[in-house]
Structure 1
Amino acid sequence: MIEVKALGKQFGAQIAVNDLSFRVERGQFCMLVGTSGCGKSTTLRMINRLIEPSQGQILINEQDVTTLPPEQLRRRIGYVIQGVGLFPHRTIHHNIATVPRLLGWKKADIDARVTELLTLFKLDAATFANKYPHQLSGGEQQRVGVARALAARPELLLMDEPFGALDPLTREHLQDELLRVQKLLGITIIMVTHDLEEAVKMADVIAVMDQGELLQLDSPEALLRQPRAGFVQSLVGGLDRSLRLLAIKQVGQVMTPLQQQPSSSIPSIVASANLRDAMALLIWEQAELLQVLDANGIAIGQLSMSDLLQQGARA
């Protein structure tokens, strides 16, 4: 659990973060969204004390972060930035091993952890461990950056627009990878993004900030259904909200279980796809019905246009 209370930070006459108060439960994925300069990154840097708050209190598992030496605190918190920040003169193995080595882990334990993390992020250890960052693609470098942040099993992972510089396809793939790893490890993540689509897809809770203040903290669905008037409402959009709501739910959550074997002419979609993708497929195929497949390609249900329209009507 992380709790930020009445947090303030002032730079000269400008207040970057003002009276910010929120709580993130253990294992939650929290997104900080808002326009550039609204205080998102400053908030992250105050949590790990790269910037000291002017006032207030930050608690991690009920412990005030100011009671710990900064370097000890940061070894308990993973931190990932947009530029990755890998050491160019060190191999991938040595990059990931950085914090465990500082903590005095045994070599065998470090080697095992590096292999474990490379495997977790679907990077073959035999292929990648002895490479250098410049030999990797942008997406591979970002995977290694997250792996390095997780190497010492931190209580909290902070991420500052980690996918912002990547192409859309790589970005989407890494979003899926991070969600898979986060659910597998149960780690608490606070991530900064300017992309509401990314926040809606990934977050358990979204914190909308503007001019250094927290305007609304809610689940993606609650934020889209009942945005606070003013900035939040303009951020989530008007008619776009229905499409974003469709993107939250998976086909398998609203499909009708299969009663009889569907015709082979009916277009199909996997149960893990979201409802917005299902809507797009129905329109593209000019169909009224989709058959739903499980991960093995076996038909398990069906989804109609009327099912999707009912979901949109509740937006």
Structure 2
Amino acid sequence: MAAETHTVGIAVVGFGNAGAQHVAAVQALPGVRLAAVVESDPAAARRAREAGLPVRPLSEALADPGTDAVAVCLPPGHRPAVLADAVAAGKHLIIEKLPARLPAELDEILAASARAELFSTVMFQHRFALPGPLRDEAPERFADAVGSLLISRPRSADHYREGWRAEPEAAVGGVSVHLGAHYLDLACQLLGEPVAITCLSRTDAVAGIDTELSGHIAFRSGARLTVTVTCRAAARFEQLTVLGRQDWVEVRAGATAGEVDGRPLAAPARPAAELRQDVYRELADALRGGPAPDLSRLDRSSGVVRILDGLLHSVVGANRQVAA
């Protein structure tokens, strides 16, 4: 185990919007340092240097014994080789959402990390906003629940017709992945393992890149969830509602309300920047000898990866069963 006084070094691969957010989270935490920014795009690398950040080649960052973990902030389709190299170099992982394009790809990352005895974590930071009673035994608590998820964030369709965002192999999908993934992940934390996924309707900017999608998900717990994600409406809106036999919960724009065990439950929204720091803090604490990461564990992402695979790759109206 690392010493309690160990300063945890993080290399951030990719300095786009997500990478910049990771860098800010790393720089905000005591006992965590930015070991490197890895960026192949000359303009983005120049921005990083102008900000005073240590821009280094990937091979150099991975060879550095002061690099404990690698945060991979590339588009999903551009990550596999970097993840493989990081694991081969013995580096722990923080992966930006969506962590894998397909369930099989996620399984490969998890298996490789386990063989190397490395921690693998994911930047689904909104898990840390759930109040304590919703973090434990949630699927059992909400067995047979009904739920709805509605997300709207205005975007021009042209946003999904340019660069890597227009390429299904790189981006995986459009609004369902890039706007819906966080709340779909929260739904899985509450409702458990999905077993059947039906895409009810979808509209694409280009083939495979959705601008509006509706679907239905059935969970092993008996819960059912209807989902709509769109960028075609003017309103910005995010709401997940789950109604159980006795308990209920609503997460709206990051704030949580509900009733659990007969008692009111309320938690205000927290800034996303603080929640990202929680992800890094959990990993850093583990690397200093504390408990292994829990909320940020990559294996807790299997549900959302399966749901998005089902919604994006099934025929509209067809019920797709999920393999156990």
Whose Rg is larger? 1
TM-score by length of 1: 0.28
The TM-score with structure 2 as length reference comes to 0.27
